[in-house]
Homo-oligomer: A and B are copies of this chain.
Amino acid sequence: MKTLKIPEATIIRLSVYSRYLTEVDRKGIITISSRDIAEGVGVSPAQVRKDLAYFGEFGTRGVGYNVKDLRQHILRILGLSVDWSVSLVGAGNLGLALSTYKGFRKRGFIITSIFDTDPQKVGTMVGDVEIMPIERLVEVAKQNRTQIGIVAVPASAAQEVVDQLIKADVKAILNFAQVVLNVPPEIELRNVDLVVNLEVLTFNVSAQR
């Protein structure tokens, strides 16, 4: 198989398609066209077909796509046919919000460990997970074969946490701290920047007049 580069925008849309298909499937609909998917998620039908074509031929000409099949295919493409063990670092307000967020578990992301530096917090339970001291991160994350780390600590502590996560053989990191992090190229890193999203909005609102 030739590995041609897949645009990241395609991956993001695939995630959206699969969620839409979950909805459609729940309504008992068997078959769906690229046009219907496109309408449902707000893109063009050509875009839907192009995105899917990177990975194979999932439809039937003249008919469309089988909803259940396509959904399963996309989940497999995204790596969601298995559960993922996630380690959450930082049990502040944001960390606690993320730890109780239902959306993660629904897609197979299981938070198996939570770490914090605050001795007050260490030992307390969040759902069925006990908050552990950050010193135990490497040991515990390795034990759980954790592949994803979520960084929800202050910017000043983020690089140190990331270094520990890498020592624990984590493969991917989702970072909420507002700081540019250094990771080796084989580690997947994504930054969620809550403030920058607001600033794109203010730019657009300000530019409107």
| Chain B minimum-CB-distance residue to A155 | B103
Which of B40, B174, B197, B201 interacts with A198 by CB under 8 Å? B174
Which of B186, B188, B199, B205 interacts with A171 by CB under 8 Å? B205
A201 B180 Cβ-Cβ under 8 A: no
- Name the residue in A16, A79, A86, A173 with the highest tally of chain B Cβ atoms < 10 Å from its Cβ: A79
B195 A107 Cβ-Cβ under 8 A: yes
Contact A200 B94, CB 8 Å, known A101-B194, A195-B103, A205-B172: no
B103 A178 Cβ-Cβ under 8 A: yes
A100 B93 Cβ-Cβ under 8 A: yes
Q: How many residues of A contact B (CB 8 A)?
A: 57
Q: What sequence of 0s and 1s flags, for each residue 186-197 of chain A, a beta carbon within 8 Å of any chain B beta carbon?
A: 101010111111
* A157 on interface, CB distance cutoff 8 Å: no
* A125 on interface, CB distance cutoff 8 Å: no
Task: Give the distance in Å from the alpha carbon of A98 to the alpha carbon of B8 in the complex.
Answer: 27
- Name the residue in A12, A93, A106 with the highest tally of chain B Cβ atoms < 10 Å from its Cβ: A93
Min Cβ gap A191→B in Å is: 9
B107 A101 Cβ-Cβ under 8 A: no
The A98-113 residues at the B interface (CB cut-off 8 A) are 98, 100-101, 103-104, 106-107, 109
